[in-house]
Amino acid sequence: MSLLNIIHYPDKRLHTVAKPVVAVDARIQKLVADMAQTMYAAPGIGLAATQVDVHEQVIVIDISETRSDLRVFINPQILKAEGSSVHEEGCLSVPGIYDRVTRAERITVSALNAEGETFTLDADELLAVCIQHEMDHLKGKVFVEYLSPLKQTRIRNKLKKHLRETM
């Protein structure tokens, strides 16, 4: 397994729309393993392939306290979305920035697992937030885009300044 490089906002590659996975083969299974290792090391509770510059529809999530409940979503689709809730969000691609985002409170999602089998999941609370956040990444959308233009400008300038200082 390998640690992958997480690209940071406002890198334009984060706005690439991911393509459906054609076959859950050894290459995809290695990508899942590398993404999981990268997520745990970050640490984060979710990671989309877009964030490691792979533009295919693959997401890994683990919201467990024990970091031992890895969930893999390949070619995820939301079948049902209900309610509305506001949650503090962060993002491994936008380090140090946290803000409140409104999303569906409950979702039903269908996807392929790491063995290529179709499954359906009902999710709420943090799992629902994380799945929606990661699925946004696959659509080329970063959570800061839900914030005001002024906040987005300030975040972009802050991260560009940080990048200049660390080069």
Is 91 or 129 the residue whose CB approaches Zn ion more closely? 91
Quickly list DSSP for 104-165: -SEEEEEEE-TTS-EEEEEEEHHHHHHHHHHHHHHTT--GGGGS-HHHHHHHHHHHHHHHHH
Q: Which partner from the list ligand K2U, Zn ion, none does 89 bind, CB cut-off 5 to 8 Å by kind?
A: ligand K2U
Quickly list DSSP for 17-83: PPBPPS---HHHHHHHHHHHHHHHHTT-SEEEGGGGT--BSEEEE---TTS---EEEEEEEEEEEE-
**Binding of Zn ion at residue 155 (CB under 5 A)?**
no
Q: Please report, for residues 51, 76, 134, the alpha-carbon distance to residue 56 in angstroms, rounded to integers and kept in the order given.
A: 11, 11, 12
Q: Least distance (Å) from ligand K2U to the CB of residue 27? A: 22
Q: Which partner from the list ligand K2U, Zn ion, none does 90 bind, CB cut-off 5 to 8 Å by kind?
A: ligand K2U
Among residues 89, 134, 145, 165, the one annotated as catalytic is 134
Q: Least distance (Å) from Zn ion to the CB of residue 142? A: 7
Q: Which partner from the list Zn ion, ligand K2U, none does 62 bind, CB cut-off 5 to 8 Å by kind?
A: none
* Residues found near ligand K2U in the complex (CB under 6 A): 44-47, 89-93, 129-130, 133-134, 137
Is 134 marked active-site?
A: yes
**Binding of Zn ion at residue 91 (CB under 5 A)?**
yes
Residues involved in catalysis:
134
